Amino acid sequence: MADTTSFPPLKNDLILRAARGEKTERAPVWVMRQAGRYLPEFRAERVENDFFKICRTPELATKVTLQPIDRYEGLLDASIIFSDILVIPQALGMTVEMVPGKGPHFPTPLVVPADMAVQLKEKVDVHKELQYVFDAITMTRHALNGRVPLIGFVGAPWTLMAYMIEGGGSKTLSKAKEWIFKYPKESHELLGRITDVCVDFLVGQVHAGAQMLQVFESWGGELGPHDFEHFSLPYLAQIAKRVKAELGDKAVPMCVFAKGSWYALDKLSVIGYDVVSLDWTHTPESAKAITLGRVTLQGNMDPNVLYGGDEAIVAAATRMVRGFGSTRRYIANLGHGILPTVPVEAMELFLKTVHRVGLEVAAEEKAAELANDVKIIG
Q: How far is the CB of 372 from ligand CP3 (least distance, A)?
A: 41
- 40 in contact with ligand CP3 (CB under 6 A): no
* 3-class state of residue 37 by DSSP: coil
67 binds ligand CP3 (CB under 6 A): no
Instruction: Please identify which residue in 17, 20, 37, 328 interacts with ligand CP3, judged by CB under 6 A.
Output: 37
Interaction between residue 133 and ligand CP3 (CB under 6 A): no
- Taking the complex as a whole, the smallest distance from the CB of residue 160 to ligand CP3 amounts, in Å, to 9
Residue 96 engages ligand CP3 in binding (rule: CB under 6 A): no
Residue 98 touches ligand CP3, criterion: CB under 6 A:
yes
Give yes or no for a contact between 339 and 304, defined as CB atoms under 8 angstroms apart. Answer: yes
Residue 128's identity, in one-letter code, is K
Active site residues: 33, 37, 46, 84, 163
Among 38, 52, 153, 201, binds ligand CP3 (CB under 6 A): 153
Alpha carbon of 194 to those of 87, 131, 153, 158: distances in Å? 12, 17, 14, 9
**Interacting span for ligand CP3 (CB under 6 A) from 97-105, 188-196, 303-311, 315-323:** 97-105
Taking only Cα atoms into account, the Rg of the chain, rounded to an integer number of angstroms, comes to 20
Q: In what order do the strands lie in the sheet with 275-277?
A: 79-80, 150-155, 212-217, 254-258, 275-277, 296-301, 330-334
Phi, psi of 209 (to 5 degrees): 135, 0
Look at residues 375, 276, 365, 361 and name the one whose alpha carbon lies nearest to residue 317: 361
Residues of this chain, 261-320, that bind ligand CP3 according to CB under 6 A: none
106 lines the binding site for ligand CP3 (CB under 6 A) = no
- For residue 338, the minimal CB distance to ligand CP3 (Å) is 8
Residue 240 and residue 254: Cα distance in Å, rounded?
7
Q: How far is the CB of 277 from ligand CP3 (least distance, A)?
A: 10
Residues at the site binding ligand CP3, with contacts judged by CB under 6 A: 32-37, 46, 51, 80, 82-86, 98, 100, 103-104, 153, 169, 216, 218, 336-337
